[in-house]
Structure formats: structure tokens, C-alpha cells
Amino acid sequence: MAEPEVLIEARGVRKHFRGAEAPALDGVDIIVEAGRICALLGTNGAGKTTMIRILTTLLTPDEGQVKVAGYDIATHPGQVRASIGLVGQYAALDEILTGRQNLELFSKLAGMRRAEARRHAARLLETAGLGEVGDRVVSKLSGGLRRRMDLATSLITTPRVLFVDEPTTGVDPHARRDLWARLREMADQGVAILLTTQYLEEADALADDVVILKAGSVIARGTTADLKQLVGEPKWELREPTLEDVYLHLHATSEEVISR
Amino acid sequence: MSATTPPIGTTFGSTSLFREALVIAGRTLLHWRAQPGLIAVNLLFPVMILLMMGGLFGGAVAGSTGDYFVYVLPGVLALNMMFGIEATMTALASDANKTVTDRFRSLPISGGAVLLGRVLADLLTSVVELVALSCAGFLLGWRWENGILPALAAYALLLTLRFSMLWLGVFIGIRAGKPEALMGVQILVWPIGFLSTVFIDPRTMPTFLGWIAELNPISAVATSARELFSGRQIEGVSWAATHALPYALISQAVLVAVFAALGVRAYRRLGQ
């Protein structure tokens, strides 16, 4: 059986912002294979967003080797950008325009001609179930619809790798489930997804692999099942440990647990 | 995904810096369509300044309102080009704040396209503003006394002022990162615009103040535009006024050289 393709490969990534006392990232390794969802967990300031910004070429690391979709971010940033989609913490849309106009604008920037961009935008709206609200101005959309529109915009380039930074913050439970289903569907089609979240329930429901960051360093990594086993001693007699139990346990002890 | 969706990893047609910049500039046209009221206000504001200054102070300053309109209009055109900095700053700060800039920067497009697109859009806006203000001037009795070619040269000079201010706006807008942070700069734009020869002949000012007003690059453009539109030499108290055209071109070249470099650098280093 062929080895699964590694689409995100970061080794020894270090980033120290000017004026900061401690590095934001201190030798972080992350590997994500095609078709898998990896959740990057950590408290505010743990380095999750910094890692996403480095992987999406928005930020330059001080040290480390980073390859995305097989391309080095330092030497081939253009090819990396052509292979990725980014859903940031805030919907990165032009709020004065409609969702459809946003999709057409970014499709044209991705290299499509006007007619092709129009068709592509319609297709993305239909796929995302946003056809009915596509002609509404973005500023008039609810938080959940805006996130879905943002996700649709990030799929304009049909990415092989998708970065999702806290996708469901401020989103109602129904919209959250919709978004999860959409991400799982994409992973099943072979897209590698790296998502950051503060909702452990989200990581538990969605992620195949989990990396836990604390103060810029990895304190644990593995599949959710592996991690639960590692700390699943008699502490949780009445029920199976949740990822929240694992997270709180590891965060308190800061043990370096490498299970994969 | 539906069956018609392109497969994962599909790449689309190649594109060029200029085409990308045109697409980004086209976004501003979509904004115009979405907010026609805002555009109308932007076009009417300088006309209102012209009417207000000419109507209220024209008689006192120049003896007659009509004469003052003729004097002040090239100055208001120049002032309007300077005030355009606010639109540039706000657009860039707003995009950065709403992470639209991150979206642009994570796309496989040239980094220069975003800034070039902004430059093209703002210059196009400025052309429309110049046309609107000139039409108002014609209605008030102002004329191109020196012929068409010098008048076109004056408009080109006015646009170079907008071009240099644009790069200053690019730099400040990117560094500000959010529209609220621009408040201080927006307040400063007014005294800088007024401490010039836009509204008043510098020879009527205290010598020191007249000298400072003439050093203002907006004054050099206003004076040169007056000369080009009217065909008459405008007198001044300093070298900057007696050599208004070369001083205007030199000062703007310096502004562009410094702030285009700083603006591009700031854009590349966003979030570092």
C-alpha cells in the first residue's frame, strides 16, 4: 500500500517577535497527511495562529523547514499559495460587496476570466448551500453565514491543503455542525486540513490527529484515541475520557508525549 | 461537492501583475455601485468647500467673489488631491483590520498587485473628482485662459500630487492597521492643507508664515496649476514659490521615492 502523501511538513519552526520576552514558537514540528484533519490546540497565546500564518506564507519563520503541498514556503511561496485555502479567525471578505461579488473577485484573481469566474462563484455558492444568500451584502449576513461564505471563498483555488483558524468562534451550534460536515467531506476527498480551535468538543468530533501547544512548544501529539489512552487511567471510571480531560491533564503536567 | 466542481488541486489560467491590479482596482468600481450616495458626497464635498470659501471670504480676500473663485479653484483642486490621502489610508487600514489583506496575501498573486490596484483605483477616483470640481468651476466663471494643453498639463501635475500623497497614504494605512488608529493623521490633514497658498496669497501673511506656506508641496502644485491655467506668473516670497513647478516635481519625486519604498516594505512585512 502506498504511503499517504504528507501535505504539511513543518520541522523545528521557531518565531520570536521583536520586543516579546519569549518566542511565539519554539521548535514546533507538525506533520499532516492527505485526507486527515489535524487540530492544533492551545490557550490564547500558545502560538496557534502564528503557526497558521507561517504555513500560509503570511509570516516568515526565524528558523525551521516548512513544506506545504510539497513546496518549501521560503523558496516557492507562489506554489504554496496556489495549493492552499485559508479560513482565518475573522471572515476575510469585502463587506461592502455581496458574497457572489466576493467570490467572483477572488476567482478572477485566481486567474479565471470573467465568465469562468461567474460560473465558478455560482458553483461554489451552490455547493456551500449559499445560493439564496449569494446576492446579499456580506455585512448583512449572520455570523454563521459569513463563516460559510468565507470557507467558500477559501475554496476558490480548489486547495489541496486547508488552514482553518478557529472556524466556529461565535457561530451557532447548527452552523457549527454544518461547517464540521463540510470540513469532513473535504478531508474525505483528500484535502489535508489543519485547524486551530479552542473548542475541545470540536477537535474531538472532527480531528484525526491532535497537536497540543503550550507557550510555543508542543506538549503532546497523537490521534485523539491515542491521547485518550495515554491518560485514560482509572481517573475516569464512570465514562470514557474526553479530549477535554486529556487536554487539561496534559496542560497541567506539560509532559512531552509523542505517541505517533 | 457537486460533480461539476473542479477536482482538488486544479490550477486556473495564469495571470499578470497588471491584470491582477486591474481586478483589484475594479473592486473600487463595485464599491461605487454599491454605495452611490457615498460617491456623491465625496464629489460634492470639494464643491461645497469651493462655494463656501468663495462665497464667504471671496469678497473680503479678493475684492469680489468672482475673482476669488478664479484664484482659489486651482488651489481647491490641489487641496482635493491632498485630501485623497484619507481614502487611501482608510481603505488599506480597513482591509488590514478585516483581514482582507491576509486573503490577498495568501493568494497566488503578485504582492505588488494589491498596492498597484489601490493606486489605479485612487487615481481613477481623483480624475472623476477633478472633472466634477472643474465643472463646478466652469459654472462659477472659471476658465482655462491659457488654452487646452497647459490646462491638461495642470491636471497632470495635480494627479502627480495625488500620486505622491497616495504612497504616503499607503504607508500610513498599512502601519495603522485599523481605521481608528488614523484619527490623529486625519486631524492633521486639515492644518497641513490650510497652511499653504491654497486659499490666501502668501504675501498677505506674516513673512515667516508665508515662507512656510510656500514650502508646502501643495502650495507649489496650486501655484503651478494657477500659472498653467491662467498663463500668468504668480509672485511669491521664496524660491519655492518663484520656482513652483520644479519645486513641485522635486518634492513629489522625493515623497514617492521615500513612501513607495516604505509602503511596499510595510506591506511585505505585515504582521512580522
DSSP, collapsed to helix, strand or coil, labels residue A28 as strand
Q: Tell me the pairing of strands A209-214 and A37-41.
A: parallel
* Closest approach of A209 to chain B, Cα-based (Å): 22
A183 near A164, Cβ under 8 Å? yes
Looking at residue A31, its pLDDT comes to 96
DSSP, collapsed to helix, strand or coil, labels residue B116 as helix
State the pLDDT confidence band at B9, using cuts at 50, 70 and 90: low
**How far out from the chain centre does Cα A121 lie?**
22
Looking at residue A257, its pLDDT comes to 46
SS3 content of chain A, % helix, strand, coil (to 5): 40, 25, 35
DSSP, collapsed to helix, strand or coil, labels residue A27 as strand
Measured between beta carbons, the chain B residues lying within 8 angstroms of A17 are 272
Please measure the distance between the N-terminal and C-terminal CA atoms of chain B and give it in whole angstroms: 36
- Residues in contact with A256: Cβ distance below 8 Å, sequence separation at least 6, in sequence order: A218, A219, A220
Contact A86 B98 (CB under 8 A): no
* Amino acid at site B232: R
Instruction: Give the integer Cα–Cα distance in Å for A196 and A84.
Output: 16
* Amino acid at site B142: W
**Which of A28-42, A218-232, B66-80 bottoms out in mean pLDDT, i.e. has the lowest?**
A218-232
Q: Compare CB distances from A105 to B23, B99, B271 and report the shortest one's residue.
A: B23
Q: Compare CB distances from B12 to A56, A84, A112 and report the shortest one's residue.
A: A112
Q: What is the dihedral of CA A145, A149, A152, A157, to 10 degrees?
A: -170
- Return the DSSP state at B35: -
| pLDDT cut 90: percent of chain A above it | 60
Q: Which residue of B has its CA nearest to A150?
A: B103
B242/A236: higher pLDDT = B242
Instruction: Give the integer Cα–Cα distance in Å for A216 and A219.
Output: 9
Q: Is B16 on the interface with A (CB under 8 A)?
A: no
Asked whether the CA dihedral A228, A229, A233, A237 is positive or negative, the reply is positive
Looking at residue B174, its pLDDT comes to 93
Looking at residue A197, its pLDDT comes to 85
Q: Which residue of B has its CA nearest to A80?
A: B108
B100 near A86, Cβ under 8 Å? no
Contact A81 B102 (CB under 8 A): no
A10 near A29, Cβ under 8 Å? yes
Tell me the pLDDT of chain B averaged across its residues. 89
Task: Give residue-wise pLDDT tens across range B175-200.
Answer: 998 888 898 888 889 899 999 999 98
**Which of A197-201, B82-86, B230-234 bottoms out in mean pLDDT, i.e. has the lowest?**
A197-201
Cell numbers for A58, please give them: 503570511
ipTM of the predicted structure? 0.83
pTM above 0.90, yes or no: no
Instruction: Give the integer Cα–Cα distance in Å for B6 and A117.
Output: 13
Asked whether the CA dihedral B97, A207, A175, A150 is positive or negative, the reply is positive
B203 near B242, Cβ under 8 Å? no
A73 near A57, Cβ under 8 Å? yes
Give the position of cell 492551545.
A42
Contact A93 B100 (CB under 8 A): yes
Instruction: Mark B190-227 as b/e (b = at least 16 C-beta within 10 Å).
Output: eeebebbbbbbbbeebeeeebbbbbbbbbbbbbbbbbb
Cell numbers for A115, please give them: 465568465
A2/B55: higher pLDDT = B55
User: What angle is formed at CA B104 by the lines to CA A78 and CA A167, rounded to 5 degrees?
Assistant: 105
Could you count the other beta carbons within 10 Å of the beta carbon of residue A79? 17
Contact B106 A57 (CB under 8 A): yes
Instruction: Give the integer Cα–Cα distance in Å for B56 and B62.
Output: 11
Measured between beta carbons, the chain B residues lying within 8 angstroms of A47 are none
- Return the DSSP state at A141: S
| pLDDT cut 90: percent of chain B above it | 61
Rg (CA), chain A: 19
Looking at residue B130, its pLDDT comes to 96
Measured between beta carbons, the chain B residues lying within 8 angstroms of A191 are 8
**How far out from the chain centre does Cα A108 lie?**
24
- Residues in contact with A90: Cβ distance below 8 Å, sequence separation at least 6, in sequence order: B98, B99
